[in-house]
Each structure stands twice: as C-alpha cells, then as structure tokens.
C-alpha cells in the first residue's frame, strides 16, 4: 500500500503585492508540512497574483517573482516537501505562465502552461505565450542569483512529468482542466498517478458544478489523484476568485475547501492510496489497451520517495459529499467577501450607499450587512487577521473589537435616503426599517430644494421651466427633470462619503456603493452619472430575477425581514410625480420585462446572437404566445435602446462579475459604443422574415396549435412572456 499525503490550498493573493503573496505562500507550505503532506500545490501565478494584467509586460514583475522564490528556497521551506509554485518565467525572451516544482531547496522542473485562457474575462495571450513543444524537455538557464544560492545552473523546462522512486506526478494549469485534448490523458496513459492543478478561476453564479464535474470526470475516465488549488478573494479588479480547492481520487471528491471565505490562507490535505489508482486503471480494459501503445511523454527522474508505507491507524481519506451553494447564497457570500477585500485593501473607512428602498439598493445594503455578519463570525472563530482588519477599519480603541454585526455596521456603513416630492412614504419607510435591521448609520435627506435651485437657475438662463409629462410637458422635459434628481444624488453621495467621517471625528473616507443591476445596464435603463455611478458596485452583474430571489432568501437567512416587503413592491424609479391615475413603473418605462431582458442578454452574449438570429430564436421560444411581427417589434425595441445606451457602459461603475451575459465594457464585453441605432440592414432582414412567415400558413397553424397546447404554461427560459407596451417613453434612461 503506497500512501501519499497531499495538500492543496486557497490563497487570498493581491496582484503586485509581493509581500502579502509571499507571506501567504510561506504560510500555506508551513501548514502543509505540519499536516505531514509530501506534496503541496498553490494557485496559478501565486507569487505575483493572477490579475496583474499589463504589469506582466514589465520585466520587474518576473524579476520580483524570482526574488520571492529565492526567499522560499533559501529559507528551507521546501525541505521534505514537493511544492508547485506559480509564477511568470521568461525563457529566451518569451514569457510563460509556469508552475515551478521545488524540493529540498532545489528546482526540480518548470512546467509552462500549454493551453491559455483567452475568452470572457481572460486575456492570457496578451501577456503570455503557450508552450507548444511536447517532444522533449529543454534546459532552462536559471538567473544568476538563484543558481548561486542553489548551486544549480539549469533545470528541465517544458511539458512532461516527474518520476519519483514511488510515484509519478505531473501538472495541469487552470484552463487545461477544461480543454478537449487535456494533457492528463497522455500523462495518465504514461503512468502518471498524481495531477496538480494551479488555478485562477473566478466566481460566477452557478459555475462551481462545472469545475467539480470536470475534476470528477478527469479522474473517472483516467483514474488518478487530482489536486486543485485556486486563488481566493479580490486581487485588485472586478473578479472574485472563489477558492473551493479540491482533491479527487478515481472519480470521487475526497476533500473540498470553502468556496467563500475571508481567510487569507486555507490548506486542505488528504491521505490517498496510490495502489487504488493502479488497481482502478488495471480494471478498465480500454485504458489498458490505450496505455499499451501510448505516445511517450518526456519526464524527469528524481531519486526520492514521497510515499509512506502502510501503518496501523493510517486510513485513506474517504469520499465526501460536495457542497454547493444556492444562487441566493452565492449572491450573499461572493460579493460580501469581495467588498471586504476591497474595503481593507483600499484603506477606506467604510461604505456609503444611496438607499432608495427599492430592490437593487436594498440588495446592496443586505450584502454589506452579510459582510458584517461574516466578519464577526470569523472573529468569533479566532481569525486574528480579520480581527485586526476590522479593528483598524472600524477605528476601535485598544482592547475593543467587533462583537456584533449591527454594531460593526454602525461604524463602517452609511445609508442615505435622498427623497424628493416624487418619493413615496413606502420606499422611505422600507429604507429606514432595513437600515435599522442592518445597523447602518441612516440619514433621510430631502433634495427638493437643490432640484428647485437648479430649475430656477435654468429658468433665469433660458426663460423656460420644464414640466413633467403628466403635467403637460414633453418627453424631453420629462427626461431632463428625472436626470436632474438622479445626478444630484450622485454629487451628494460623493460629498457625504468624503465629509461624513470628518463630521463624526473619524479619519479616512467612505467608498460610494452603486446599485444598478446587469439587466438595467444591458438596456441602458439608468442615467449616466447618476447615483448608480459609484466607486464599486457589488450587484452590477446580477440579474433582477436573481436579486429578487436573493431578497426572499435574505429576509429569512440574514434576518432582515423588511426585505420581504421590498421584494413584493413593484420596481419603480420614483422620478416622476405620483398621480391618482399614474405611477411610474420600471418595466413600463423600459418597454420590456426584466424576465425578457435576461433572455435578450443571454442570447446576445452567451449565444452570440445579432438582431436577425435573436428574432429567429425567439420565434421558436415564444411560438404560440406571440406572432412573428410581435417578436420582431420586441427584438427591434431591445436593440434600438441597447445601441442608443451602449455608451453608458464605458462609464459603468466597476462591478463584481457574477453573470455570463454581463454587458460590462471594460474587459468582458468588448464591443463598440457608437452604433447606428436604426440597424437598417438587420431590421430590414427581420421584416422580410416576418413577411415570409405571415405568408406561410403552416407556421400560423402551428402557432395556433402550440398556443392551445401551452395555454397557461410559462417556461423558465421565456416561453409565455407577457406582452409589454413597446412604444413607451424611456424616461430614466437619460444620456
């Protein structure tokens, strides 16, 4: 029986903060050694942080990584333990994303990444090259100061595996886990038993199952031990790396780390039976057959034993049930941890939120409240780093520390209700009630006098005073009046964020939180530079439907009962006067429902649909509910306002990335912002298709039959959508 104790980890690294990163790497190695592990794997690019982006183009970045590695090797951290350490390496003037394998203060092998991530949020080809040479390992000349310390001039570099006396081990790096022709296939056929994966995988709603299934399937098909390490936390950008390090053996997950945590270092270990791997593979006839005529993979021989012989009381780690969070929990915990990292690393003193009493701003408030709950919980469990950060941010005196989430929120969270004559008593009372439940310092600030002053100034300049549409004004006047209110709120929010700490004799400044959701960003249903413009936005990539589900969950599980009332209220901007026969509603203003917006967003981004293909897709989805001409009107209406408002994405508040159809302009959704909003060619093609379909009696008949068959049934993907007036104005979506 060959027993091997292995360790993997989640590390909360910060891009370009080499001190923090090195400290976390050292701590993880020390904990792995204390657990008796013989192998330790860390996250991708752990010495530099994954999100350095164009800093990778600087020679300094690679040089500092080597300096940190030198510190680890000279400090004896790798004595008696094989460590995979992620860092950039420049070889023959080409930069590679590498795992560096170290043992007993020597470098055993450097494994460059061969499949780079280059879609969605990832741009690895901008900074790195993929290693394409698989036939042989080559000699890498170590930097002079490293070679002098190690008394080692060269090290094997390239694709291959390490053959120890009692086990063979190889690496995959992040994206390689998900590729069709994954490296582990040939490696497994060459007898490799242990795979280490250094990853930098960000959180996205409902994504974890893909990652877990990939690990399970990797070892289910080929057998073996799979060790997965990941970054954790906000390393300086929009992404939150959600950890969840794992160890899988022959299709079973035997250890799973936390997915959302405030910890800087989390180490996970397991005792695995390598003879069980050999037995598993030998029992599969097809595996034996393929392995018998494999393509040879180069390897490095290391005359060293990693395994331990069987002893009484040594029992291999058994399978565990994988823990998945519900989407509502992901919305609570992911952005909460991201906000905490941003708060403590920005050196800010807290957050300020314009709290309107609506679903979006209330969701943000609840997330901050959840953050406070997580901080207090970790302090109670003995996390000294979280305690020290909380004491500094909350400006506690010596010996004092947070013991209650509401008391902590009072110190670091301002909420401000900025009402006008158009605001209802319902939203005002809901905002106040939620603030009391969370514990924030709440202010109710009327802004009518500021609005009136601006309108008086405008009247003196032009001789005209705009009126709302319900009072006889034009669409232009109506929109202008709404935008004044929204932009005043932004200016006031930033003024209070900078001065309120001074008012309360606190040092520092507060970060302004935004609260526009992904659907409103996609549609452009927000005023440019209004109170949605902020420092950061934790829900900017979360759909309205998911937020409403989160509110229902948070009302119970976060104990903010007022959120149930918030969720039940119809979405409204409250920027127009309330009349007996008129009440402003978001979905009427937009000319589409939030449910429809989610469908448009997924088709546009995930399924890469332009106007024509979206029309064709929706004709099938909504067959039996809408006629082709009605579908055409909806598609045209969406693309018209998407095009008109795309420029708003260029100034969208940096948001937590949570959704795969995010319209975020900076890195994720790279499209132009100046469109021909008439889409003349595309809309003409749609009109032609509608005419052809109207002439086709078969389509009409099938529609009528489908309508009878599906009457009263609503599909989760959008079948049975309610018809919304398309010709409505676009009041609060100003330029």
CB under 8 Å to 30, separation ≥6 — which residues? 77
Q: How many residues does the chain have?
A: 735
C-alpha span between 608 and 612 (Å, rounded): 11
Whose tokens are 């110190």? That residue is 411
E strand residue ranges, 257-298 = 265-273
Residue 638: phi, psi to the nearest 5?
-65, -50
Q: In Å, how far are 34, 345, 399, 415, 538 from 338, measured between CA atoms? A: 30, 11, 27, 19, 8
Active site residue 356: yes
Active site residue 619: no
DSSP string, 339-393: HHHHHHHHT--EEEEE--SSHHHHHHHHHHHHHHHHHHHHHHTT-HHHHHHHHHH
Instruction: Work out whether strand 82-91 and strand 39-41 pair parallel, antiparallel, or are unpaired.
Output: parallel
Residue 252: phi, psi to the nearest 5?
-110, 140
Q: In Å, how far are 614, 657, 685, 696 from 692, measured between CA atoms? A: 17, 41, 11, 6
Whose tokens are 């050999």? That residue is 278
Exposure string of 17-36, with b = 16+ CB inside 10 Å and e = fewer, is: bbebbbebbbbbbebbbebe
For residue 441, list its beta bridge partners.
414
Q: Radius of gyration over alpha carbons of the chain, in Å?
A: 29
Element (H, E) at 241: strand 241-242
- Is-contact 532 487, C-beta < 8 A? no
For residue 3, list its beta bridge partners.
273, 308
Catalytic residue among 9, 46, 83, 113: 113
Which of 222, 225, 195, 216 has the alpha carbon at shortest distance from 283? Answer: 222
Catalytic residue among 44, 46, 520, 576: 44
Instruction: Work out whether strand 168-173 and strand 194-199 pair parallel, antiparallel, or are unpaired.
Output: parallel
Active site residue 407: no
Catalytic residue among 9, 52, 68, 174: 174
E strand residue ranges, 76-164 = 82-91, 94-103, 106-112, 138-141, 154-157, 161-163
Catalytic residue among 28, 356, 362, 598: 356
Active site residues: 44, 113, 174, 356
């Amino acid at each position: 029986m060959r027993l091997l104790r292995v360790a993997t980890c989640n590390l909360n690294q910060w891009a370009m903060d080499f001190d923090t990163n090195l400290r976390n790497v050292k701590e993880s190695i020390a904990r792995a050694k204390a657990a008796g592990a013989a192998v330790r794997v860390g996250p991708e690019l752990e010495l530099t942080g994954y999100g350095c982006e164009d800093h990778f183009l600087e020679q300094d970045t690679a040089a500092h990584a080597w300096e940190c590695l030198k510190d680890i090797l000279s400090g004896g951290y790798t004595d008696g333990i094989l460590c995979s350490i992620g860092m950039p390496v420049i070889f023959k003037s080409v930069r590679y994303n590498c795992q560096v394998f170290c043992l007993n203060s020597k470098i055993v092998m450097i494994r460059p990444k061969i499949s780079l991530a280059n879609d969605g949020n990832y741009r690895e080809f901008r900074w790195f090259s993929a290693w394409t040479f698989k036939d042989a390992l080559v000699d890498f000349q170590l930097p002079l100061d490293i070679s002098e310390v190690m008394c080692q001039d060269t090290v094997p570099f390239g694709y291959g595996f390490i053959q120890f006396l009692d086990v063979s081990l190889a690496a995959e790096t992040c994206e390689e886990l998900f590729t069709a022709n994954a490296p582990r296939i040939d490696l497994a056929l060459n007898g490799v038993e242990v795979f280490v994966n250094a990853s930098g995988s960000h959180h996205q709603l409902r994504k974890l199952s893909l990652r877990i299934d990939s690990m399970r399937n990797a070892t289910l098909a080929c057998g073996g031990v799979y060790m997965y390490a990941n970054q954790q936390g906000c390393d300086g950008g929009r992404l939150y790396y959600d950890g969840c390090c794992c160890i899988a053996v022959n299709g079973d997950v035997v250890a799973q780390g936390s997915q959302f945590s405030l910890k800087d270092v989390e180490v996970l270990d397991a005792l695995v039976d390598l003879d069980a791997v050999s037995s598993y593979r030998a029992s599969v006839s097809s595996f034996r057959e393929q392995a018998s005529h494999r393509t040879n993979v180069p390897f490095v021989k290391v005359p060293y034993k990693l395994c331990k012989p069987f002893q009484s009381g040594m029992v291999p780690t058994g399978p565990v049930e994988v823990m998945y969070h519900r989407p509502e929990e992901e919305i609570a915990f992911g952005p909460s941890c991201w906000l905490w990292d941003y708060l403590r690393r920005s050196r800010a003193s807290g957050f300020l939120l314009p709290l309107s009493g609506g679903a979006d701003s209330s969701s943000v408030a609840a997330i901050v409240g959840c953050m406070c709950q997580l901080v207090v919980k970790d302090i109670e469990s003995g996390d000294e780093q979280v305690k020290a950060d909380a004491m500094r941010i909350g400006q506690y005196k010596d010996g004092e520390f947070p013991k209650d989430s509401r008391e902590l929120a009072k110190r670091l969270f301002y909420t401000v209700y900025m009402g006008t004559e158009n605001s209802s008593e319902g939203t005002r009372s809901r905002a106040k009630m939620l603030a009391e439940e969370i514990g924030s310092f709440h202010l109710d600030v009327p802004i009518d006098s500021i609005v009136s002053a601006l309108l008086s100034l405008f009247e003196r300049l032009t001789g005209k005073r705009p009126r709302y549409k319900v009072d006889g004004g034009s669409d232009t006047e109506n929109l202008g009046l709404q935008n004044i209110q929204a932009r005043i709120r932004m200016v006031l929010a930033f003024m209070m964020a900078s001065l309120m700490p001074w008012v309360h004799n606190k040092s520092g400044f507060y970060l302004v939180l935004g609260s526009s959701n992904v659907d409103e960003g996609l549609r452009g249903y927000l005023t440019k530079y209004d109170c949605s413009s902020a420092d950061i936005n934790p829900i900017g990539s979360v759909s309205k439907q998911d937020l409403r589900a989160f509110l229902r969950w948070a009302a119970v599980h976060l104990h903010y009962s007022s959120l149930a009332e918030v969720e039940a209220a119809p979405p409204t901007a409250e920027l127009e006067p309330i009349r007996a026969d008129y009440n402003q509603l978001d979905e009427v203003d937009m000319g589409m429902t939030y449910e429809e917006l989610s469908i448009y967003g997924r088709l546009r981004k995930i399924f890469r649909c332009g106007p024509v293909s979206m029309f064709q897709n929706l004709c099938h989805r909504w067959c039996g509910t809408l006629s082709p001409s009605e579908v055409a009107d909806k598609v045209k209406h969406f693309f018209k306002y998407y095009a008109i408002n795309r420029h708003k994405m260029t100034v969208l508040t940096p948001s937590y990335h949570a959704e795969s159809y995010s319209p975020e302009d900076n890195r994720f959704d790279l499209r132009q912002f100046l469109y021909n909003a008439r889409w003349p060619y595309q809309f003409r093609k749609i009109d032609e298709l509608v005419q052809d379909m109207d002439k086709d009696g078969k389509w009409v008949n099938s529609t009528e039959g489908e309508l009878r068959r599906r009457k009263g049934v609503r599909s989760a993907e959008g079948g049975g959508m309610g018809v919304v007036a398309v010709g409505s104005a676009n009041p609060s979506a100003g330029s």
